[in-house]
Chains A and B, each alone.
Chain A
Amino acid sequence: MPENYDAIVVGSGISGGWAAKELCEKGLKVLLLERGGPYDHIKDYKTAGKKPWEFEHRGETTSEQEEVRPVIHRSWGAQEQVIDAWTNEKDCPYIEDKPFNWWRSYRMGGRSILWGRQSYRWSDLDFAANGKEGVGVDWPIRYKDLAEWYDYVETFAGISGSVEGIKHLPDGKFLPPMALNCVEQDVAARLKKQYNGARHLIIGRVANLTAPIAGRTQCQFRSRCWEGCPFGGYFSSQSSTLPAAVATGNLTIRPWSIVRQVLYNKDTKKATGVEIIDAEDSKTYSFNSRIVFVCASAINSAWILMQSATDIWPGGLGSSSDQLGHNIMDHHYRLGASGKVEGYLDKYVFGRRANGFYIPRFANIGKDKRDFLRGYGYQGSASRQGWQRDVAELNIGAALKDELTEPGQWTMGMTGFGEVLPDHRNRMYLHATEKDKWGLPVPVMDAVLRDNENKMRISMANDAAEMLESVGLKEVHSWNNFHPMGDGIHEMGTARMGRDAKTSVLNGHNQVWDCKNVFVTDGASMASSACQNPSLTYMALTARAADFAFEELKKGNL
């Protein structure tokens, strides 16, 4: 294969897919590197057409699978349908100075196949918070810098949602919203009244098509998204960005390519390309390019930079500010509340909605002042209980079976998603001696929730229970369990953007301060975490950075 390209994109997940599409569509010859194997749209969605009874263990995983993927088995991702999607943790170890649940999927498309698809814009409440409060560093951008890019990526990806006019959760270019069910509709109305319009319960904004767009069929409400959708009903690299990139004729894809380092020329002070290890034959190869987009996910993007240009900077490319690998954030959850809903026994639903409701942030907005910084949102749903329910008054036999043959009563539950502050002490680094099977240094995780998050969590659980009680639910109970960092699957912040090269790794265009032709546009680049699901913002940042990089190339600045 050729060795020279205009651009190299590292990683094929949500950010890498966008980078490849944008750069290809501008006419650049692009090499897309993915450390995992091929995973073709539709053809490789092996389980997506299986009936529930065709799964040997009916969704459960085996002891052997647990041995290979113990971290995934700590949380809810260990399900028979998708177990092979998760990275083999024996081959790809990491070390936990502090507990860190790292959800990885090393194959084409990365976690874009598995993601939760919730898609929310940020606002200046989020972009301005660090600067106002003196936390971390001020974002070098504001909402106005990203608004048109949100429009752009939403239109292409296909985001369904309702227009609500909530200032701190800006409306977007939405496909028609999915429906709230009867209980959720009534609860939304009661909540609005109860809190004088300061709290909203809205349908989730989700990257599932509620109307067809070019080349893709609309969502069929099977709710099996993460097995891969044979209809292309939701946004993934496979369904969306990669076909667009391939259609230009400018894309070369190389799977099994573990990027070991960005190659750096100290005379020109620019990157010349990347060096990879082929995951299959373990040989080293080099590829050259004019620009490099690092979109390997927050931990791995930082890992690659740490491995690069170490003859100039011992901590790696972008380490001069002492921020590389630091400020790991996530969204903290594993808490919430649920309860029983009286009535509505003459109502039911049809179809499996791969979505729920969203209660946007209300804490520390307007008069709602708290003893912690920032805030949280909730995701949840109301539904009638299924056969899994425990029927306390029935033990076994025909009566139990008859009871379970019908839907049970309505219940409603929700989970909070809280903002994590950037903190220099929360970091990942390369282990000095431990190597993986390719001889590559193993990353070490050293990050925890701290005072602000722990204070916030108490309010998150209490507010959830209080809201459910206030709208009339019965037997409400809340929970607040230990949240290991990473378990929110929103790890970010390891190469933050900023206004000053002394305190950040990237500038306002996701350019590495120390090496202008290297861009990092995935979660690594985040200066704060907000509490909204971050992927839509990664898409917008990536498209914006790709546009900037192309213009700079044209001007001869890179």
Chain B
Amino acid sequence: MDRRSALQRVALLMGGTVVGAELFLSGGCKTAPKGVADLFSEDSISLFSEIAETILPATATPGAKAAGVGEFIPVMVRDCYSPEEQKAVLDGLLDMDKRCNETYKKGFMDMTAEQRTEFLTVLDKEQREYQKTVVEPKLKEIRDAKMSGSAAGQPNKDNNAAATATTAEPADPVPHYFRMIKQHTMLGFFTSKVGATEVLRYVEVPGKYEGCIDYKKGDRAWAT
């Protein structure tokens, strides 16, 4: 588990210099998010809303935009992401903008719905590949090291009571930025009021458990 430092987070907020920011600007975007705080700008929220809507669009039921996912993602990035994950998302937005301009000669916001879907489908395939070839092997390595190495019984050399968690765990690898965005789009959508009650089914107090009821194709899943 990654141990995140508040100081580092602040530094990122304040400094906010992200390599390639100028590319973002040249790509026609009005305000490139330079730091996490910028993710709360109207432009950024619109961008997240449109990305989320492309992942989970309105169909017969409302989509991600109506569920407020564009507002939700910046909150998660700000509060729950490690500095490394925050950087990955900020860099990822620049990467997206650069590639949209290369391929479609315009920014994501100006692309058609078909172009957006095509582009994010490519990104999703990329993130799956990245997960399989980079993240999962690294996670396995960490697990194996714990099983066979110091964690399996050798004392901590730098034992120090000043720190509560005296066993530093190796940091998990940072996932592909689109994986994080997609996952938090799904979380933000299906746990929203719209998602849970208008797209899925939500019963606050079931009052009983029945382990074998009839189901027919098309019946909605339970939200929780």
Q: Are B190 and A404 in contact (CB under 8 A)?
A: yes
Q: Are A58 and B191 in contact (CB under 8 A)?
A: yes
Tell whether A220 is near chain B: CB-to-CB under 8 Å.
Answer: yes
Known: A67-B5, A350-B208, A351-B210. A396 touches B147 (CB 8 A): no
Give CA–CA (A61, B1) in the complex, Å. 13
| Interface-facing stretch out of A89-97, A310-318, A507-515 | A89-97
Tell whether A184 is near chain B: CB-to-CB under 8 Å.
Answer: yes
Q: Are A387 and B186 in contact (CB under 8 A)?
A: yes
0/1 string, A397-416, CB within 8 A of B gives 1:
11011101111100000000
Tell whether A124 is near chain B: CB-to-CB under 8 Å.
Answer: no
Pick the residue among A58, A347, A408 that contacts B213 (CB under 8 A). Answer: A347
Known: A51-B193, A97-B155. A179 touches B166 (CB 8 A): no
Known: A52-B191, A89-B165. A448 touches B153 (CB 8 A): yes
Q: Could you say which residues of chain A place their CB within 8 Å of the CB of B215?
A: 345-348, 407
Q: Could you say which residues of chain B place their CB within 8 Å of the CB of A220?
A: 205-207
Q: Could you say which residues of chain B place their CB within 8 Å of the CB of A222?
A: 204-206
Known: A96-B166, A481-B147. A350 touches B206 (CB 8 A): yes
How many residues on chain B are close to A (CB under 8 Å)?
A: 78
Give CA–CA (A99, B117) in the complex, Å. 46
**Chain B 152-169 residues near chain A, CB threshold 8 A:** 152-156, 159-167, 169
Q: Are B57 and A406 in contact (CB under 8 A)?
A: no
Q: Are B210 and A350 in contact (CB under 8 A)?
A: yes
Q: Are A396 and B54 in contact (CB under 8 A)?
A: yes
| Interface-facing stretch out of B23-31, B75-83, B93-101 | B75-83
Give CA–CA (A482, B54) in the complex, Å. 39
0/1 string, B200-220, CB within 8 A of A gives 1:
101111111111111111111
CB distance from A235 to the nearest CB of B (A): 18
Q: Are A52 and B196 in contact (CB under 8 A)?
A: yes
Residue from A61, A353, A442, A482 having most chain B Cβ neighbours under 10 A: A482
Q: Are B54 and A397 in contact (CB under 8 A)?
A: yes
Q: Are A52 and B206 in contact (CB under 8 A)?
A: no
Write the chain B residue with the least CB distance to A399.
B59
CB distance from A457 to the nearest CB of B (A): 10
Give CA–CA (A52, B191) in the complex, Å. 6
Tell whether A268 is near chain B: CB-to-CB under 8 Å.
Answer: no
CB distance from A51 to the nearest CB of B (A): 7
Q: Are B55 and A58 in contact (CB under 8 A)?
A: no
0/1 string, A50-66, CB within 8 A of B gives 1:
01110111111111101
Q: Are A95 and B54 in contact (CB under 8 A)?
A: no
Give CA–CA (A297, B155) in the complex, Å. 25
Give CA–CA (A96, B163) in the complex, Å. 10
CB distance from A401 to the nearest CB of B (A): 5
Q: Could you say which residues of chain A place their CB within 8 Å of the CB of B154?
A: 98
Tell whether B171 is near chain A: CB-to-CB under 8 Å.
Answer: no
Q: Are B143 and A52 in contact (CB under 8 A)?
A: no
Give CA–CA (A95, B9) in the complex, Å. 27
| Interface-facing stretch out of B38-46, B102-110, B120-128 | B120-128
Give CA–CA (A63, B121) in the complex, Å. 30
Tell whether A323 is near chain B: CB-to-CB under 8 Å.
Answer: no
Q: Are A53 and B193 in contact (CB under 8 A)?
A: yes
Q: Are A60 and B221 in contact (CB under 8 A)?
A: no
Q: Could you say which residues of chain A place their CB within 8 Å of the CB of B146?
A: 481-482
Give CA–CA (A4, B160) in the complex, Å. 40
Q: Are A178 and B57 in contact (CB under 8 A)?
A: no
Q: Are A482 and B155 in contact (CB under 8 A)?
A: no
Tell whether A292 is near chain B: CB-to-CB under 8 Å.
Answer: no
Q: Could you say which residues of chain B place their CB within 8 Å of the CB of A64?
A: 6, 79
CB distance from B62 to the nearest CB of A (A): 10
**Chain B 58-96 residues near chain A, CB threshold 8 A:** 59, 61, 63, 72, 75-76, 79-82
Pick the residue among B205, B211, B224 that contacts A349 (CB under 8 A). Answer: B211
Give CA–CA (A537, B161) in the complex, Å. 34
CB distance from B139 to the nearest CB of A (A): 11
Q: Are A98 and B153 in contact (CB under 8 A)?
A: yes
Q: Could you say which residues of chain B place their CB within 8 Å of the CB of A400?
A: 55-56
Q: Could you say which residues of chain A place their CB within 8 Å of the CB of B161?
A: 93, 95, 431, 434, 442
Extra A-B contacts (9), CB below 8 Å, given A52-B224, A96-B165, A349-B210: A51-B196, A63-B4, A90-B164, A222-B204, A223-B224, A345-B215, A353-B209, A442-B161, A482-B143
Q: Which 8 A-B residue pairs are closest in the complex by CB-CB distance?
A: A181-B211, A434-B161, A351-B206, A70-B165, A351-B209, A348-B215, A482-B146, A89-B164
Binding site for B on A (CB under 8 A): 51-53, 55-64, 66-67, 70-71, 73-74, 89-90, 92-99, 178-182, 184-185, 220-223, 345-353, 384, 386-388, 395-398, 400-402, 404-408, 431, 434, 442, 446, 448, 480-482, 484
Pairs A–B under 8 Å by Cβ, sample size 21: A56-B75, A56-B79, A57-B80, A67-B3, A74-B1, A93-B161, A94-B164, A181-B211, A220-B206, A221-B209, A222-B204, A346-B215, A347-B215, A348-B213, A349-B211, A351-B210, A396-B54, A406-B218, A434-B161, A448-B152, A481-B146
